[in-house]
Structure 1
Amino acid sequence: MRLITLLVVVAAATVAILHFTFPTAAAVGCPSCYGFFHIADGIYVESTMPSDRGMAAKATVEAARARVRTFYGDLQSRPRVLLCVTDTCYRPLGGGSRGVTLLDHALILSPRGADTAIAAHELAHVELHKRIALWATLLRSIPQWFDDGLAVVVSDDPRYLAPGPNRCRVEPGGDLPNSRAAWIETTETTGLYARAACKVSHWLDTHGGSAGLLRLVASGTYQDLAPGTRP
C-alpha cells in the first residue's frame, strides 16, 4: 500500500514539474489533464470541440496519415495527435505555430492546423524522426532544411509546391539553414519552405524518390546533405 501511495505521489509530482517546465510534454503524457478528449486511434481533441468538428478532425488526421503512408509505403510511427479548437488551448503548448511535434511521440495542432496538408507535414516530421531513431533526432543529424523540405514534399502542400512533374515554385537559390534555430529565425517571407521543398524535390528526383530516402536512413550517414548550407 505504501509503495502504491509513493508511486502515485511521484507520478503527480512528475506531472506537476512537467506542467511548469515542459507543458507540451505534460499535455502529451496526460491529455485529459489538459482538457483533451480521446475520440479514436490516438487522436485527442479539445473537450469544447463540437462533435461534428471532432469527426471532421479525425477524418483530416486519417487523410494526413494516408499521405505519409503513400510516400513511405508504411507507417512506423504512431504518435498521439492532440487538436486544439481554441488559441487558449494551443498557445501554452505550441506558441504561434500551426503545429508542433514532440520527437516521434506526438504532435499538437492549432485551430489553424486542422488541415490535411499541415497535419501531414507534422506527421512527416514524426515519421522521419522515428526512422532515423532518437539519438539522430536529438543530435539534429538531418539538416533542418531537408527535414522541413521533405515534410512539404510528403504533405504535398500546394502553398509551396507547384502541380505537375516540376514541383518547384522557386529554386533553392543560396544557403539554406542547417540548424533549427537558424530556420526559426528566418521568416516565411523569404520563401524558405518553398525553396527547401524544391531542393528536396531535386534530391529525390536524383536519388530514386522515397526508396532513395529509405536507403539514406538505413545508411545513417547524412553529411552529404549539409555542404553549401549555413549552420
Structure 2
Amino acid sequence: MPKRSRRLWARATAALAVLLAATLAGVTLAFPSVAATTCPGCYGLTELDEGVHTEATLSDAEKSRVKQVIRQARKLVADFYGAPASDPRLLVCLTEECYGRIGGGRERGIAILNRAVMLSPRGMDAVIASHEMAHVELHSRLTAGAEVPQWFDEGLAVVISNDARYLAPASASDRCMVTPAGPLPATLEEWLAAASKDVDTYAKAACQVSRWLRANGNHAGLLSLLERLNAGEAFASIVPSGS
C-alpha cells in the first residue's frame, strides 16, 4: 500500500475509533440503564448467579435473599406460561446509590429493552420482580409487528405476579377490585400519564385482563391470542374494546 494511502487509512481508522468512543460515551451518559444491562461489571455489579448481577458488597444473608426472591419470581412466571421463552439479565440493587448509578429512578423495578430487568431496593420482592419479568416474557413471545395495548401488558403482568394490591385472591369468582368505567390507556405515554394521576389504573387493567383470561381459557387463551397476533391479526379484532 502506498505511503499516502496508509496515512489516509490510519487517519480514517483513528477517526472511526474516536467516533465509536464518542457514541459509546453518549449512550452511557444518556441511557445508563441500557449500558448497565449490557455491561453490569462496568457499573460495579458482580454476577451472583447465572444472569443475576448485584452489588459485590452484599452480606451472605443479603445474597441469600436476592436468590430467594429471583427464584420465587421465576416460578410465578413459569407457573403461568410453563417453559419460559425469555431469560432476562437481572440487575439487582439493595442500595439507592447502586440503583441510581445504573440509571434507575423512583420506580421499584423496570424492564429494559424487553431483554433485561432492573430492581431497586424497594422492588426486592417476588411480586415486583415477576411483574417486570412478565413484561419481558410477553414481548419475547411476540414477533416483530405484533403488539398488545399497554393496559393489557400491565394487567397481564399484575395477574402473573399475583399482586394482591390490585387483584382479589385467585379463589374469588371475580378477581376485580376496581372495574374500569371507560377505555384504558393503549400507549406507554398514555399509561404513564394515567397511572400518575389515578392510583387505580393498575387495578382497572388487572380487572379487565383477569376477566378476559377467565372467559377465554386463561393460559390457553393467552397462547391462542399470541399466536393470532403473530400471524398478523390486530389486537382490537381479537379482544373487543371493553371486554
In the superposition, the TM-score normalised over structure 2's length comes to 0.83
Deviations 1:35-93 (A, max 9, x none): 11101020011223323212211110111011101101110100100011122222352
RMSD of equivalent CA atoms:
2.4
* Number of residue pairs matched by the alignment: 222
Query: Could you say what secondary structure the match of 1:132 adopts?
Result: coil
- CA 1:204–1:38 in structure 2 vs 1: closer, same or farther (change >3 Å)? same
Is the Cα contact below 8 Å between 2:47 and 2:53 reproduced in 1?
A: yes
Moved more, 206-215 or 186-195: 186-195
**Aligned-pair CA distance for 1:16:** 2.3
- CA 1:51–1:226 in structure 2 vs 1: closer, same or farther (change >3 Å)? farther
**Aligned-pair CA distance for 1:8:** 8.8
Residue of 173, 180, 193 corresponding to 2:188: 180
What is the distance in 1 between the residues matched to 2:242 and 2:137? 26
**Aligned-pair CA distance for 1:11:** 7.3
- Give 5+ residue unaligned stretches, structure 1: none
- Give 5+ residue unaligned stretches, structure 2: 1-9
What is the distance in 2 between the residues matched to 1:9 and 1:71? 48
Q: Which residue matches 2:118?
A: 108
What is the distance in 2 between the residues matched to 1:28 and 1:201? 32
Q: Which residue matches 1:190?
A: 199
Is the Cα contact below 8 Å between 1:94 and 1:110 reproduced in 2?
A: yes
Residue of 169, 177, 202 corresponding to 2:177: 169
Corresponding position: 1:219 with 2:233? no
- CA 1:30–1:120 in structure 2 vs 1: closer, same or farther (change >3 Å)? same
**Aligned-pair CA distance for 1:227:** 3.2
- CA 1:40–1:97 in structure 2 vs 1: closer, same or farther (change >3 Å)? same
Moved more, 106-115 or 88-97: 88-97
What is the distance in 1 between the residues matched to 2:119 and 2:62? 14
In the superposition, the TM-score normalised over structure 1's length comes to 0.87
What is the distance in 1 between the residues matched to 2:57 and 2:18? 30
Runs of 4+ in structure 1 over 6 Å off: 5-11
Residue of 136, 151, 165 corresponding to 2:157: 151
What is the aligned-residue identity percentage? 45
